[in-house]
Amino acid sequence: MRLEAETLSARVHRTPLLADVSIRIAAGELFGLVGPNGSGKSTLMRCLAGLQRATAGRVMADGIDLGRIAGRERARRIAFVEQQADTTDRLTVRDVVELGRIPYQSALRGPDRSDHAAVHDALKSVEMDGLADRLWHTLSGGERQRVHIARALAQAPEVLLLDEPTNHLDIRHQLSLMALIQSLPITRIVALHDLNQAMACDRLAILHEGRVVAIGPPDRELHTDRLAAIFGVAATRETGPDGRPRLRFSHAL
């Protein structure tokens, strides 16, 4: 699914959070959102997921205003893993992932084999199938993060929005999650702080103080002058063993 932000602005009371953001994300693209703390990444994600209304502008999904798509239909098409998603209910890991199947069920149709298969596959893809019966509150931060991603995968969306998905994950799970995200044949929008992980995106937008300052391939946009100006760090670039550029950060400016 193609997703477009058209001159989006968002504010809380008088505080502007996003100003005039326009982005076109192609179907099947892996699109990154990067920017310093407070630059508006999560706010933009919430608008793109249809969870927050913009004060001006609109979000278009395959040419249709997202605000006009019914919640259930939107939930079948767009899945969102927020940064600090939590639940206080007494749920097992499997229960949490099954929540992703609700948009496909109705009062007349409870979970069926296809729902169970989707839950199983989603748990397996984040290596949480061995903990399916564990209670949510007993999980570590990284395990919870992986279960939330499994819930979003079980939703079988056309667009997957992930807000800092590698937070809390150990290095092996960071790498396997990034590989999983890269392999999915759907539109993916990922907010990332690790700019080397962001190098894997097809394109990215750099946000600063609620505005988009650049859009393009990471290799072109994450140059050392911009890293200094926007992120406030001194960095050098080198070529990694995979032939991709790698950033090496030395100090805060």
Ligand X SMILES: Nc1ncnc2c1ncn2[C@@H]1O[C@H](COP(=O)(O)OP(=O)(O)OP(=O)(O)O)[C@@H](O)[C@H]1O
Positions touching ligand X (CB under 6 A) are 12, 15, 17, 35, 37-43
Taking the least distance from each CB to ligand X, the nearer of 33 and 118 is 33
Q: At its nearest, how many Å lie between ligand X and the CB of residue 93?
A: 26
Taking the least distance from each CB to ligand X, the nearer of 30 and 34 is 34
Q: At its nearest, how many Å lie between ligand X and the CB of residue 82?
A: 10
Cβ(160)–Cβ(186) below 8 Å:
yes
Taking the least distance from each CB to ligand X, the nearer of 14 and 90 is 14
> What are the tokens at 204?
């990215």
Beta-carbon contacts of 122 under 8 Å, excluding residues fewer than 6 positions away, are 97, 100, 150, 151, 153, 154
Q: At its nearest, how many Å lie between ligand X and the CB of residue 165?
A: 13
Taking the least distance from each CB to ligand X, the nearer of 12 and 175 is 12
Beta-carbon contacts of 116 under 8 Å, excluding residues fewer than 6 positions away, are none
Taking the least distance from each CB to ligand X, the nearer of 44 and 126 is 44
Count of CB atoms situated within 10 Å of the CB of 209: 15
Q: At its nearest, how many Å lie between ligand X and the CB of residue 10?
A: 9
d(CA 123, CA 94): 8
d(CA 102, CA 115): 9
Q: At its nearest, how many Å lie between ligand X and the CB of residue 88?
A: 21
Beta-carbon contacts of 196 under 8 Å, excluding residues fewer than 6 positions away, are 246, 247
Q: At its nearest, how many Å lie between ligand X and the CB of residue 15?
A: 5
Q: At its nearest, how many Å lie between ligand X and the CB of residue 194?
A: 12
Taking the least distance from each CB to ligand X, the nearer of 98 and 164 is 164
Taking the least distance from each CB to ligand X, the nearer of 38 and 216 is 38
> Which of 89-93's residues contact partners 24+ apart within 8 Å by CB, and which partners?
89/136, 90/135, 90/136, 90/137, 91/135, 91/136, 92/132, 92/133, 92/134, 92/135, 92/136, 93/123, 93/128, 93/131, 93/132, 93/133, 93/134, 93/136, 93/139, 93/147
Measuring CA to CA, how many Å separate 224 from each of 153, 206, 242? Answer: 35, 14, 20
